[in-house]
């Protein structure tokens, strides 16, 4: 869905990845290159772990069991089996297969944490993960299995399982096969895990962070597209652009609102339809909230995105593991694997996205209602009574919005204790991420239906012409937007959704009037 320009190769060092790097590898198959400084940092911290492995005193994650079994000392000749057993037992996912781009994102982010040099894993472990990504090997990960604390345990365990040559994967062509066969075909030796390494591979928030990164990329496109479809609806409904004036927005100085209003002003600039009713004869005093307040809602979404991006950038710079090897050589237990920082913004975004879609749906309904659409035919039908027009397209939008409102209920307020009450508070951040992905998909569908509805309404305003920018947006879906007798509507909706999701609508507008905010 993202229109981000993707690099062909991403270099990972001790420093943070960027959001664009995550999208490039996860979605566009950019190759991964590891910097020598990161491998050196890993080797240094590995030396610390190996010194503790020889210590007769127990050290969590190195010479003990895990979770509620942290007080159980494990003899050295059993520790390789301990790491192997950890990965096998924690690869307990169930349910539908998770999307390829999500699995690639979480694999990349675990690799990034390994390369901070704070996990105590050997450089070989990071090199194996990079090789799997570059070969296009995607472990099969399932919908259920993470509580978001201690990180995304089951999803990350399925990736680790593949690295040791076990469990199902898909190759670069998407063919399912056993991990050992896929590794052999790519000339990658299966890992044999040593002390601490199984734990280092599964104890992180990479699944929820990866999905946040992908959602942010998609929403960058969708939120600007929402400004375009809102402007199209204002034009189609003979609304006014005066509420979007810059001096009015400055009285309430939220940066997101200013940006949304500026976009709508630019999209509506020079519109013959808008100019046609800006006369003394026009008796309308105020437009409905779904028109007049569009920048306030879309702007608040923008500011929510900005906050979420700040959290994501901090997480991309983080070393999330337990225990960690500190800069001064200590190995310390900690709570950084708790998903709350990421989980909260995932929930917050689901609320914002649902509200943006809800306002879009209200504009769709308004354009179809002859009591409120200022002279357009009921449901934009060709022959009223015989044709139903876009009546049921609005039903579809309403159904999507209803589901999005349900998904806006926060996952993070729930917590089910686990691991014999050792893990007595969990974030449910993975579930917040999963419902946000559904919400982002829903927003693209609702905006697609608004695009189709507004484009048809603008066509019905002929001989008045739409503005240059709105006309360019409507031209993306000429067949879907064309008035006429009823036809099979679902393909038209699919075309409009595809134009929104691909970034095609936004690109068409920006080609016409320049980049939007």
Give the residues across from 178 on adjacent strands. 168
Is-cis flag, bond preceding 47, omega within 30? no
| 3-class secondary structure, 263 | helix
Instruction: Provide DSSP, 418-440.
Output: BTTTTB-----HHHHHHHHHHHH
**Which of 489, 465, 453 lies closest to 229, judged by CA?**
453
Active site residue 129: no
**Phi and psi of 261, rounded to 5°?**
-65, -40
Catalytic residue among 60, 144, 344, 395: 60
Strands (E) in 406-506, as ranges, are none
The alpha carbon dihedral of 320, 318, 30, 503 has a sign of: positive
DSSP letters, 89-104, are HH---EEEEPPHHHHH
Asked if residues 254 and 508 have their Cβ atoms less than 8 Å apart, the reply is: no
Determine contact, residues 407/438, Cβ cutoff 8 Å: yes
Closest CA to 232 of 496, 438, 21: 496
How many other C-beta atoms lie within 10 A of the C-beta of residue 403? 16
DSSP E strand boundaries for 140-231: 142-144, 168-170, 176-178
Integer Rg of the chain from CA:
26
What are the backbone dihedrals phi and psi of residue 361, each rounded to the nearest 5 degrees, phi first?
-60, -35
Catalytic residues: 60
């Amino acid at each position: 869905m993202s229109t981000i320009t993707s690099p062909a190769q991403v270099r990972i060092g001790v420093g943070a990845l960027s959001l664009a790097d995550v999208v490039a590898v996860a979605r566009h198959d950019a190759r991964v290159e590891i910097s020598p400084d990161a491998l050196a940092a890993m080797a240094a911290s590995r030396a610390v772990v190996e010194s503790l492995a020889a210590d007769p005193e127990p050290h969590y994650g190195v010479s003990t069991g895990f979770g509620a079994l942290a007080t159980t000392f494990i003899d050295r000749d059993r520790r390789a089996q301990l790491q192997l057993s950890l990965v096998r037992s924690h690869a307990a996912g169930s349910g539908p297969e998770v999307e390829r781009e999500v699995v690639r994102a979480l694999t990349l982010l675990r690799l990034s944490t390994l390369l901070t040099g704070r996990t105590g894993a050997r450089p070989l472990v990071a090199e194996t993960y990079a090789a799997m990504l570059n070969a296009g090997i995607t472990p099969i990960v399932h919908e259920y299995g993470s509580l978001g604390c201690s990180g995304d345990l089951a999803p990350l365990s399925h990736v680790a399982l593949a690295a040791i040559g076990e469990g199902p994967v898909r190759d670069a062509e998407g063919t399912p096969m056993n991990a050992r066969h896929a590794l052999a075909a790519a000339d990658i030796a299966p890992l044999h895990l040593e002390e601490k390494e199984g734990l280092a591979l599964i104890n992180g928030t990479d699944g929820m962070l990866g999905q946040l990164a992908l959602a942010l990329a998609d929403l960058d496109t969708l939120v600007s597209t929402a400004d375009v479809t809102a402007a199209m609806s204002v034009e189609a409904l003979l609304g006014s652009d005066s509420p979007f004036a810059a001096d009015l927005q400055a009285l309430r100085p939220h940066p997101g609102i200013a940006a949304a209003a500026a976009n709508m002003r630019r999209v509506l600039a020079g519109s013959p339809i808008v100019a046609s009713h800006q006369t003394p004869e026009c008796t309308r005093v105020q437009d409905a909230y779904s028109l007049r307040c569009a920048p306030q809602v879309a702007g608040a979404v923008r500011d929510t995105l900005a906050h979420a991006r700040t959290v994501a950038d901090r997480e991309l710079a983080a070393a999330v593991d337990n225990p960690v090897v500190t800069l001064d050589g200590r190995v310390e237990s900690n709570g950084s694997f708790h998903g709350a920082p990421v989980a909260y913004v995932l929930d917050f975004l689901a609320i914002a996205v649902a509200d943006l879609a809800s306002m879009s749906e209200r504009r769709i309904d308004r354009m179809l209602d002859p009591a409120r659409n200022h002279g357009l035919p009921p449901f934009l039908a060709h022959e009223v009574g015989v044709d139903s027009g876009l009546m049921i397209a609005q039903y579809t939008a309403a159904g999507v919005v209803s589901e999005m409102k349900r998904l806006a209920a926060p996952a993070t307020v729930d917590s089910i204790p686990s691991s014999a009450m050792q893990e007595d508070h969990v974030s449910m951040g993975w579930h917040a991420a999963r419902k946000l992905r559904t919400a982002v998909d829903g927003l693209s569908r609702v905006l697609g239906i608004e695009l189709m509805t507004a484009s048809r309404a603008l066509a019905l305003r002929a001989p008045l012409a739409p503005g240059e920018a709105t006309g360019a947006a409507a031209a993306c879906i000429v067949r879907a937007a064309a008035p006429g007798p009823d036809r099979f509507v679902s393909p038209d909706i699919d075309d409009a959704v595809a134009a929104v999701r691909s970034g095609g609508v936004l690109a068409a507008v920006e080609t016409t009037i320049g980049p939007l905010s």
